[in-house]
Amino acid sequence: MSTTPRMHTTVGVTTGLHQRMVPKLMMVNALLVLPLNQLLSRIEQELSENPALELDEKPASPESDWTPGEGGQSLTSWTPDEEEFDPFSRMAAPVSLQEHLLMTLQAQGLSARDHAIGERLLGYINENGYLEASPAQVAQELNAEVEEVEAVLGRIQRFEPVGVGARNVEECLLLQLRVMESTAVNRLAQRIVETYLPDLAAHRFDKVAKAVDATVTEVKDAHEFVKASCYPYPGEQYRSDQDGGRVRPAEIARPDAIVRRTDDGFVIELCRQNAFALRVNAFYDDLRRQMRRASAGYSDESRGHVRDYVNRAKLFIDALQRRNWTFANIVEAIVRTQWEFIERGDAHLKPLTKAMIAAELGVSESTVSRALDGKFVQLPPTGRVVSFDLFFDQSLPTKDRIREIVAAEPRPLTDEEIAVQLTSEGIKIARRTVTKYREEINIPPSTTRGPMAASS
């Protein structure tokens, strides 16, 4: 049975009611398809064209709390949030490293104390991405324990770009290496970087090889691995990605929703909530009531002018609230299914289709598709922003398994051999699909991977 009787029951009661509902449903669908930046423009347009519509001084926002393993609750309440952090207040300008880090910090769901520590630490991060103050100094400034500051710094150092908040080059490179696959060359690179980085940079390969009990060839491979996989300046890397690299300012994915992890579960918020708080202008609302009570004193043109603007304002407000309610419920349903993927990684992605979400919520599949198309969500714990399409990508667990197989291979395995191993594990896959997935996750072919020791 449908879980949204209000919409289906109300539409079919009478012909007159059906006729009044059609404009609202059409507007809801029109708003539902808009990503946040376009939705904000649409709201601005409506505010400029309709004098009977205005922003509410006390914005309200849909927010959902949901705990894994529980049924969750429907998004039927609107709670005020006057101190909302607004990551879109400077949408026209490129996002600086500091702004990006502040947005990511906000998404962590930290306590007020840890958030204050995080903000102070971010204030000491220079344009290269390095921390220019010691945890002891920050602890003294905030009357906190050094251990508290170290813990928050550890979270910041996992933000993108990886390595931000490092105190020197060695730490920066190690932070990056530690989040990569634990291959033999990676483990050797970590040992060398931690103790012998100056010798490695000076190409004193013989000295390093003797110190770490490895061959010169292995040390050279580790050197090439670090050069190909790491960057020494996170701030420079971030600006490069924005200005001339993989991502340009206009292409930066901006979240339409934020998922936060709390001690009690997940909190789901819609971004830029203050822009959604609209109301009918009090003057126009009062004037319309006066016109309805008075039989004379107002021309038909004036009555029609006021009536049309007030009705249009109410229609837009109702449609916007329904749009946000629908979108937030869809996000909640996705998180309820994929919370293990959010917390534990690609291997835990569950089979999910938009049709399944539609059936759970009692809406059409096209409604779910319109709601998610071209939209992004910010996920804990790192604050990464991903497309909603990721939750429906059933190739992720297989790609994760391919990474594990390659990391543990005693010798470079061909794509055919990987396909055979996956099939033996119950994952039916063709060799050409293995090749496609391997290329998508940037693993070189067996002919160029080189020998690897089995993972311990």
pLDDT the model gives residue 15: 29
What residue type is 45 in one-letter code? Q
For residue 323, what are the CA distances in angstroms to 79, 206, 276, 367, 452? 17, 65, 10, 10, 53
Q: Report the pLDDT averaged over residues 183-201.
A: 89
pLDDT the model gives residue 14: 29
Strand residue runs (E) in 75-173: 78-80
pLDDT the model gives residue 305: 78
pLDDT surpasses 60 at 261: yes
Query: pTM above the 0.75 mark?
Result: no
pLDDT surpasses 80 at 191: yes
Q: Reduced to 3 states, what is the DSSP secondary structure of residue 455? A: coil
Q: Give the tens place of pLDDT for each residue, 334-360.
A: 999 999 888 888 778 888 899 999 999
pLDDT the model gives residue 440: 81
- The DSSP call for residue 442 is T
Q: Give the tens place of pLDDT for each residue, 54-79.
A: 888 665 444 555 555 444 333 333 33
pLDDT surpasses 90 at 215: yes
pLDDT the model gives residue 330: 93
User: Poorest-confidence range of 147-151, 273-277, 284-288, 371-375?
Assistant: 273-277
pLDDT the model gives residue 167: 92
Q: Predicted confidence band at 244 (pLDDT cuts at 50, 70, 90)?
A: very low
pLDDT the model gives residue 173: 92
pLDDT surpasses 60 at 90: no
Q: Predicted confidence band at 408 (pLDDT cuts at 50, 70, 90)?
A: confident
Instruction: Give the dihedral sign, CA 7/12/13/15.
Output: positive
pLDDT surpasses 80 at 241: no
Q: Report the pLDDT averaged over residues 431-448.
A: 86
Q: Report the pLDDT averaged over residues 99-121.
A: 82
Same fold flag, 97-161+236-249 and 396-449: yes
Q: Report the pLDDT averaged over residues 212-229.
A: 89
Hey, how many other C-beta atoms are within 10 angstroms of the C-beta on 376?
21
Q: Give the tens place of pLDDT for each residue, 297-324.
A: 666 677 777 888 888 888 888 888 889 8
CATH C-level class of 97-161+236-249: mainly alpha
pLDDT the model gives residue 331: 93
pLDDT surpasses 90 at 165: yes
Distance of alpha carbon 358 from alpha carbon 366, whole angstroms: 8
| Mean pLDDT score of the chain | 78
Print the SS3 string covering 329-385.
HHHHHHHHHHHHHHHHCHHHCCCCCHHHHHHHHCCCHHHHHHHHCCCEEEECCCCEE
CB 133 within 8 A of CB 122: no
CB 275 within 8 A of CB 43: yes
Q: Report the pLDDT averaged over residues 249-264.
A: 72
Residue boundaries of the structural domains of the chain: 20-68+265-391, 97-161+236-249, 169-230, 396-449
**Run of H or E residues at 257:** strand 257-262
Q: Predicted confidence band at 262 (pLDDT cuts at 50, 70, 90)?
A: confident
Cis peptide before 381 (omega within 30 of 0): yes
Place of tokens 């994952």: 427
Q: Which residues 6+ apart lie within 8 Å of 384 measured at CB?
A: 160, 378
Q: Reduced to 3 states, what is the DSSP secondary structure of residue 262? A: strand
Q: Give the tens place of pLDDT for each residue, 10-30.
A: 222 222 333 344 466 777 878
Q: Which two tokens stand for residue 158?
A: 């996992």
Distance of alpha carbon 298 from alpha carbon 71, whole angstroms: 55
Q: Report the pLDDT averaged over residues 91-114.
A: 72
Q: Report the pLDDT averaged over residues 239-253.
A: 51
Q: Report the pLDDT averaged over residues 18-46.
A: 74
Distance of alpha carbon 30 from alpha carbon 39, whole angstroms: 10
Checking phi first, is residue 297 left (phi over 0); if not, alpha (psi -120 to 50) or beta? left
pLDDT surpasses 50 at 456: no
Say whether domain 396-449 belongs to CATH 1.10.10.60: yes
pLDDT the model gives residue 103: 76
Q: Predicted confidence band at 121 (pLDDT cuts at 50, 70, 90)?
A: very high
